[in-house]
Structure 1
């Protein structure tokens, strides 16, 4: 009874803040708001009508959802490995004996994650602006110019933004795993003649596989939910449209900017996104387990 008493507050909050919204979203995805009145133009108030799997079918058959999903998958295939590699490199650097005042560097690397996502997106939008981009002003001195808002470049502009934001967060995951490794292993390896690079390759990196799994799984979920960066960039690049990513499509469907609109179709988009993210996470977890 004591154990259940300690668990109960968490279980109640978890149910109301996580399980109940998921259940409501699944239930809502089977309904659609339709006019209750008759006549050629409908009329009357909107009422929720049960439509079964119609919302799912229409979304799955539409090209917009899969174009958006293709963009975020291409984004993730490039951005996630770069970010995870950079986070691991920073963690290994801070865990080594090369860096003094580790706390200052650790805080500095983590600070971008503390910046609210929309604020960070606005900041980078300013730095990408072709009229007064400080980045292109520096590159212009050597004759280079990057069209950050060009259709073939904007996705990678967003990748730079998310890498800047989340590298420090993932670094802390790796750093915690590295600091949990018994230092006796390092001492034994040095006695056997292992160099620092050998210890990194043969001890440190293999023993942070679980941390890598966690970081990649969180990154996969975050990639599918990409929203802040494209939503902000879309305000200065209207050509991106309201359905550039699946998350933007879900939001704009809910707000009535995309037809059919309403919480039913938006919930169906969200459930499809969750299923795809779950499948990708399972595939990665199984692939890493097989590699081990």
Structure 2
């Protein structure tokens, strides 16, 4: 009886052994395929991040060289008007620009998804095309358009006998930058939302239309609630992009130095500290605090969205 049982269990053990070998091979293949990414992530992100954190706890002095100062750089940053002013400016940028940009993106996505337009592919490509233009090129182009002495808007105003608008004046330059960023990223966010809309089952629309729902009702009651994930994703990406703003104000500073200072945004300030003032330790602390601000705002956005979803 014992021998008979062992004979029956032998094939089962062999099968389990083969399954375990197959799993090990799958795990080995998965690790091998993911290893290039992990190596690049470690070299390009993790190691520089830890090194920047290490630098932020030190200070370079003319007398005494580099010394450990603990949290002094962070305390200095929290009382630095240049850093706080840049963060506040970007917070204002976020509150005004992001809702406008995402609102336009959602509007274009809903219009394209409704199927009421002709030449949809051409229109979709036209809205997305500005995103394909590098931000440096886009800023140079808009800088020319904004020019008070040579720009087409100024030339048109002079032809009409009107004073030339100064888009790069101190009180206008932030809104001019908002326009550049909105022009460049509406198409990207539209594509994300449009792809989410196309994944909604058509049966929902058919059932709603049978009940007499209009296109507006479909959009408000079915489409927008169904793409909350895409809306949250684009919002978080926009929060990150707002606080990391660099190219646009840095390039416009050449033609509007009176309106855009070296500390106009936190990223510009950190760049100035590190590569011009040679104060990489304090710049590292500024960068870490900026990352904390971004994480905090992103968390609040996600928490608010989750609460609204549970409430509904």
For normalisation by structure 2, the TM-score amounts to: 0.85
Deviations 1:111-159 (A, max 9, x none): 1111111121111111111012212444564947532111111110100
User: How many angstroms apart in 2 are the aligned matches of 1:291 and 1:276?
Assistant: 23
Deviations 1:144-198 (A, max 9, x none): 7532111111110100010001111111110111011111111111112111111
Query: How many corresponding residue pairs?
Result: 280
The secondary structure found in structure 1 opposite 2:227 is helix
From 115, 118, 121, the counterpart of 2:136: 118
Q: Who is 1:50 aligned against?
A: 68
Q: Who is 1:33 aligned against?
A: 60
The secondary structure found in structure 2 opposite 1:100 is coil
Q: Displacement, 1:268?
A: 0.8
The secondary structure found in structure 2 opposite 1:255 is helix
Q: Displacement, 1:55?
A: 1.4
- TM-aligned CA distance change 1:172 to 1:58, over 3 Å: same
Q: Is 1:215 paired with 2:234?
A: yes
Q: Who is 1:42 aligned against?
A: none
The secondary structure found in structure 2 opposite 1:4 is helix
Q: Who is 2:295 aligned against?
A: 278
For normalisation by structure 1, the TM-score amounts to: 0.90
User: How many angstroms apart in 1 are the aligned matches of 2:87 and 2:248?
Assistant: 15
User: How many angstroms apart in 1 are the aligned matches of 2:43 and 2:198?
Assistant: 35
User: How many angstroms apart in 1 are the aligned matches of 2:75 and 2:127?
Assistant: 44
> Is the 2:148–2:164 Cα contact (8 Å) retained in structure 1?
no
User: How many angstroms apart in 1 are the aligned matches of 2:38 and 2:118?
Assistant: 43
Q: Displacement, 1:24?
A: 1.6
Specify which structure has the higher proportion of helix: 2
The secondary structure found in structure 1 opposite 2:171 is coil
User: How many angstroms apart in 1 are the aligned matches of 2:246 and 2:283?
Assistant: 14
Q: Displacement, 1:58?
A: 1.3
Q: Who is 1:14 aligned against?
A: 41
User: How many angstroms apart in 1 are the aligned matches of 2:231 and 2:35?
Assistant: 31
Q: Who is 2:152 aligned against?
A: 134
Q: Say which is worse superposed, 248-257 or 216-225, in terms of deviation.
A: 248-257
User: How many angstroms apart in 2 are the aligned matches of 1:64 and 1:113?
Assistant: 31
Q: Say which is worse superposed, 50-59 or 69-78, in terms of deviation.
A: 50-59
Q: Displacement, 1:30?
A: 1.3
Greater than 6 Å deviation, 4+ residue runs: none
User: How many angstroms apart in 1 are the aligned matches of 2:305 and 2:268?
Assistant: 31
- Which consecutive residues of structure 1, in runs of 5 or more, have no partner in the other structure? 38-46
Q: Displacement, 1:233?
A: 1.4
Superposition pairs for residues 175-254 of structure 1, below 5 Å? 175-239=194-258, 240-254=260-274
Q: Who is 1:291 aligned against?
A: 308
> Is the 2:267–2:287 Cα contact (8 Å) retained in structure 1?
yes
Q: Is 1:102 paired with 2:120?
A: yes
Deviations 1:196-254 (A, max 9, x none): 11111111111111111000100001100111111111112222221111111000001
Q: Over alpha carbons, which structure has the higher Rg?
A: 2
- Which consecutive residues of structure 2, in runs of 5 or more, have no partner in the other structure? 1-26
